[in-house]
Amino acid sequence: MSISIRVYVFIGLIVVLLSLWYLALPQPLFKAPLSTVVWSKENKLLGARVAQDGQWRFPASNRVPEKFKQSILYFEDEYFKYHPGFNPISMVKAFWHNLNHDSKRGGSTLTQQVIRLSRQNQSRTYTEKLIELFLATRIEVEFSKDDILNFYASYAPFGGNVVGLETAAWRYFNRPAKDLSWSQSAALAVLPNAPSLVFPGKNENILKAKRNRLLKKLVENKVIDTNTYQLALLEDLPGKAYDLPNITPHLTEWLRQNHQESQVKTNIDFKLQQQVNTLVEQHLTLWKSNQVYNAAVIIADIKTGQVLAYTGNSTSSESPFYYVDMIKSPRSTGSLLKPILYASMLDDGELLPEQLVKDTPARFDNYVPQNFTKDFQGAVHADVFIQKSLNVPAVRLLKSYGIDRFINKLQKLGLNHIDKSADHYGLPLILGGAESSLWELTSMYTHLAKTLKNAEHNQNTTPFENLKLIASQNPQKTDENNLTNILSPASIYLSFEAMSGLERPGLDAGWKAFANSRKIAWKTGTSYGFKDAWSIGMNQDYLVGVWVGNADGNGRPNLLGVNAAAPLMFSVFENMPSTKTWFAKPMADMKTLEVCAQTGYIKSLNCPIAKSIDIPKTQLKLKPCPFHKIVNLNADKTYQVRSSCQDLPNKITSSWFVLPPIMAYYYKKNHPEYQDLPPLHPKCQSSNASQFALIYPKANQDIILPKTFDETVSEVIFKAAYDENKTLYWHIDDEFMGTTQYFHDMQFQPEAGEHILTLVNEDGQQLQRRFRLSYTETH
């Protein structure tokens, strides 16, 4: 073989070896699964979850703290900064030692140890040492010395299932690695060399001796001074591992399951989160006597949409189902959608802010809604129906607005759990007949508040966005073809104004006074069967959402939004920064309208007193006030008169507030100032009004019903005579019992005792009858 061929073969071998050397380094260097680690916006640890292989292995840090860096270099590899990945002198010394002694000594550099860690600690043979040496030179070319040291600090074992410096710092000293003292750093630096040293109550003398020798080396090399050295010797060694912080357990678990990144920095305010956790536990302590065990709170910054606190449930493992994240769990919405319907109808010109709406007994096929109090107002201003959370007016308004339209609006506002047809939900939708989550509901109300806030800065549109949990979360993409507000700032403002006047029975004096001192728009909700208590409130800067109940759906007496959820919400607001400003009125989005002062309708010619109000700029679809009528009266206004009346001088004309009879029947119970129209003067001809009569029972009748041995009793069948095409409204002791049409028979089973039966027809005429009911036993 000629010399030239040998040269080419040699060069070829060199090229092959260099290629193998270059390609030998695996990419990525480490493939081990990582723990999910969640941080607050201040970079404080909120919680972590173990990696899939059962190891506590935090993601790699950006840099190694200086104290640990100096400690590990003086303990493991003093010439780390100078060698090319291996240290020939150390290797020779180790080889000679191992030939002449029974004990084994390693000569690996930190770079070689990184390679060994990346190869999952293969058997320590000379062949493996050669591979490590080969790859160590390659890693020195690929990465900087700081990167290599960071690899070591992130993947070195520290005893048990603790991997990496950051994990060890939290597990053994309950603090981040950057806050470790010289003593703590030295103790951790000697552990990867023999990680089995750390066991509670075991090997403490060996570990202490190794740490102290390292500290002495540091003081001898003037890395630390004598005082620091003496103090470091007095510090305790790591013992039993600390539990990792678990400030946001439900958020941490949700991020583990749904977020790709292992290390997550959130928008959570650490101090506020701790305060909310404490308030939730204190609140549940009060409710445990009623067997209510679960609660959730979320706080959002309205301007940014960032989540500042996320308490998904009780943090106490003693609470049943404490592990269920109730912020993300769909539940019956109760009354929380009523303000959205109110704002939607304002926005579409189908309702005015203080317009009278009907609140009387109603039946929609087989559905008979009831107010919480089982009573009726007759007529109530629209904003007051929000404040009193009346159910029957809400159902009537939803029927008028349209269920399909309303569902479409809710879906645009992010209520994705409401995903079925109008036929599926029906009219109970507005009273909690659909499910949504605290996350969706607070996202919706935060969006409305943000829309209103942006209007102050002349931002015409605010696309819907969900709340932001993660600090690096990018804004959602918006549809350029649909840049219109879902609800106008004007309708939102009027809705918030109505909500800020909310007052419900049973208010505690303390937090009611707080509500008056800081203006807050808030709404409570209670689901059917007392299973869910809600309260959502907001001021100009923050939104607080609260749910209280049992995660398993077990309802409890008196579990109402107003007394179970609202007090917790106001307690949270007390811990928030004080703000006395309120949303600016969006005048650019409003117009002025003259309305009837008494009814809130568009002013008609018959309205005696008018006032000006601001409403959304929209095309109104309403008629003028229908409740003020011009009537002819005698001089002292005690009778109505007509042109056919004879010999009645001094007739006068007057505007009179006249509600339909069934509305008037209930309205005047709460409004003693209401005056019925005077009767027609006896000298005037009257029209033939429909007559009705009670057939059974007779006046003051004693009704005796038999009671069988098993306590079963029969129902009483009451009968009335009336036009079959008209409706009768039945009441016992002023409690509405139902309506009849066509056949005017009604079955009741009252308690024994005296009762008053009242019938009201569509013209407001009434019949009342007293009766007594008793039961006799039969055998």
Write out pLDDT tens, residues 446-480. 999 999 999 988 877 888 888 999 987 665 555 54
- In tens, the pLDDT along 288-320 reads 999 999 999 999 999 999 999 999 999 888 889
Q: Give yes or no for a contact between 543 and 299, defined as CB atoms under 8 angstroms apart.
A: yes
pLDDT of residue 716: 83
For 647, left (φ over 0), alpha (ψ -120 to 50), or beta?
left
* Calpha distance 317→293 (Å, rounded): 11
Angle between the N-to-C axes of helices 204-220 and 182-190, in degrees from 0 to 180, rounded to the nearest 10: 120
Assess whether pLDDT exceeds 50 at residue 15: yes
- Tell me how far apart the alpha carbons of residues 353 and 613 are, in angstroms, rounded to a whole number: 9
Q: Please report the pLDDT score of residue 182 as a whole number.
A: 97
Q: Mean pLDDT throughout 57-81?
A: 91
d(CA 554, CA 549) in angstroms, rounded, equals 8
Beta bridge partners of 720: 694
Contact (CB, 8 A) for 727 and 690: no
Burial class from Cβ neighbours inside 10 Å (0-12, 13-18, 19+) for residue 530 reads middle
Q: In angstroms, rounded to a whole number, what is the distance separating the alpha carbons of residues 452 and 513?
A: 26
Q: Tell me how far apart the alpha carbons of residues 732 and 769 are, in angstroms, rounded to a whole number.
A: 10
Cα(363)–Cα(738) distance, rounded to whole angstroms?
8
Band (pLDDT 50/70/90 cuts) for residue 215 is very high
**DSSP-assigned beta bridge partners for residue 448:** none
Q: Which amino acid would we find at residue 342?
A: Y
SS3 label, residue 497: helix
- Its pTM stands at 0.84
Q: How many other CB atoms are found less than 10 A from the CB of residue 365?
A: 7
Would you say 140 and 111 are in contact if contact means Cβ atoms under 8 Å apart?
A: yes
Q: What percent of the chain has pLDDT over 90?
A: 56
Q: Are 534 and 349 in contact (CB under 8 A)?
A: no
706 beta partners: 776
Residue 427 in tokens: 């009219």
Residue 114 pLDDT greater than 90, yes or no? no
Give CA–CA dist 58/44, Å, rounded: 14
Residue 12, exposed/middle/buried by CB under 10 A (0-12, 13-18, 19+)? exposed
- What is the Cα–Cα distance from 562 to 523, expressed in whole angstroms? 9
Q: Which helix (H) or strand (E) holds 730?
A: strand 727-732
Longest dimension (CA), the chain: 148
Whether 574 shows a pLDDT value over 80: the answer reads yes
State residue 40's pLDDT score.
96
DSSP 564: I
pLDDT of residue 775: 80
Question: Does 552 score more than 70 pLDDT?
Answer: yes
Task: Label residue 509 by pLDDT band (50, 70, 90).
Answer: very low
CB 273, CB 46: distance < 8 Å: yes
Cα-flanking dihedrals φ and ψ of residue 282, to 5°? -65, -40
Per-residue pLDDT tens over the stretch 520-530: 999 999 999 99
Q: Which carries the bigger pLDDT value, residue 577 or residue 1?
A: 577
Distance of alpha carbon 71 from alpha carbon 234, whole angstroms = 17
Higher-pLDDT residue of 211 and 689 is 211
Q: Could you tell me which residue, 203 or 375, shows the higher pLDDT? A: 375
In whole angstroms, give the CA distance from residue 560 to residue 527: 8
Predicted confidence band at 504 (pLDDT cuts at 50, 70, 90)?
A: very low
Q: For all residues of the chain together, what is the average pLDDT?
A: 87
Lowest model confidence (mean pLDDT) among 468-472, 536-540, 595-599, 678-682: 678-682
